[in-house]
């Protein structure tokens, strides 16, 4: 028959973050070599289940559960329950805009201007962030505007043409497992000034 080991360490899980925790094997011992256990638990947070020798899942609701207990039932139907412990499910801290994405002012003759998007977002919990960029109305980017996800994380303006003159508005977003934050910016495309006709040459003065 298995024997419960005192295991009362409180655990903290975050809403929306997948977890796998090998609690069952550390909570019980069995003097009968070779016996296996079927593990069950009571009062687990919503979204968390027992799977084999792990607790796993994604907590869906913020709550403190004070009476979580695990039971080991061996192959002969004998069961033992460990000392209850707490699981504290806490809210996720959303990412933040560390610095606003700057507006760009470009000329038709400019090429390959870019903004490194991920440098403008941060996460206080060091969560990995997924970035994306779209037009201000939510529609996908079209040339000459593009966004490269992954290592590059660059919003890029390619070769411009006369039809690109004017103001263009965009939104870039950073998401962790649960929440997102966005920063909007503008790209202004101008035509550089040019001479209109032949430069004026004054007549020499006669004195």
- pLDDT tens digits, 128-160: 899 999 999 999 999 999 998 876 789 999 999
Helix (H, G, I), strand (E, B) or coil at 61: coil
| Pair (79, 155) in one structural domain | no
Phi, psi of 177 (to 5 degrees): -70, -20
Tokens representing 65 are 């559960």
The CATH number assigned to the domain holding 31 equals 2.60.40.10
Same-domain pairing of 156 and 83? no
**pLDDT value, residue 28:** 67
Q: Identify whether the C-beta of residue 7 lies closer than 8 Å to the C-beta of residue 27.
A: yes
What is the arithmetic mean of pLDDT over 181-202? Answer: 78
Tell whether 196 is covered by a domain: no
Q: What is the mean pLDDT of the chain?
A: 83
Q: What's the number of domains the chain is made of?
A: 2
**pLDDT above 60 for 24:** no
For residues 109 and 29, the model is more confident at 109
Per-residue confidence band for 19, with pLDDT thresholds at 50, 70 and 90: confident
Residues 115-128: tens digit of each pLDDT = 999 999 999 988 88
118 with 165, same domain? Answer: yes
pTM of structure: 0.68
Domain boundary among 90, 108, 131: 90
Rounded percentage of the chain residues whose pLDDT exceeds 90 = 36
pLDDT the model gives residue 27: 63
Maximal C-alpha separation, the chain: 124
User: What 3-state class would DSSP assign to 3?
Assistant: strand
Report the chain's C-alpha Rg in angstroms: 30
Domain that holds residue 130: 96-190
C-alpha span between 123 and 103 (Å, rounded): 23
23 and 77 inside one domain: yes
Nearest to 164 by CA among 195, 142, 134, 137: 142
Residue that wins the pLDDT comparison between 147 and 17? 147
> Which distant-in-sequence residues (6+ apart) come within 8 Å of 68 by Cβ?
41, 42, 43, 44, 84, 85, 86, 87
> Are residue 8 and residue 86 in the same domain, yes or no?
yes
Mean pLDDT, to the nearest integer, of 37-58? 84
Please write the tens of the pLDDT for every residue from 48-90. 888 887 888 888 888 777 678 778 888 878 887 777 778 888 8
Greater confidence (184 vs 33) lies with 184
């Amino acid at each position: 028959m298995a024997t419960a080991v005192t295991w009362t360490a409180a655990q903290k899980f975050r809403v929306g973050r997948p977890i796998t925790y090998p609690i069952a094997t550390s909570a019980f011992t069995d003097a009968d070599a070779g016996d296996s256990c079927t593990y069950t638990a009571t009062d687990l947070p919503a979204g968390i289940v027992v799977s084999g020798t792990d607790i796993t899942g994604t907590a869906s609701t913020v709550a403190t559960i004070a009476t979580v207990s695990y039971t080991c039932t061996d192959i002969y139907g004998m069961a033992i329950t460990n000392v209850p412990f707490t699981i504290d499910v806490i809210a996720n801290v959303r990412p933040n805009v560390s610095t606003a994405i700057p507006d760009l002012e470009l000329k038709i003759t400019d090429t390959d201007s870019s903004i490194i998007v991920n440098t403008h977002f941060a996460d206080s919990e060091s969560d990995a962030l997924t970035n994306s960029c779209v037009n201000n109305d939510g529609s996908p980017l079209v040339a000459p505007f593009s966004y490269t996800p992954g290592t590059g994380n660059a919003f890029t303006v390619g070769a411009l043409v006369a039809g690109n003159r004017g103001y263009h508005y965009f939104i870039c977003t950073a998401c962790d497992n649960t929440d997102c934050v966005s920063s909007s910016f503008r790209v202004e495309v101008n035509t550089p000034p040019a001479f209109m006709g032949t430069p004026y040459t004054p007549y020499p003065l006669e004195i």
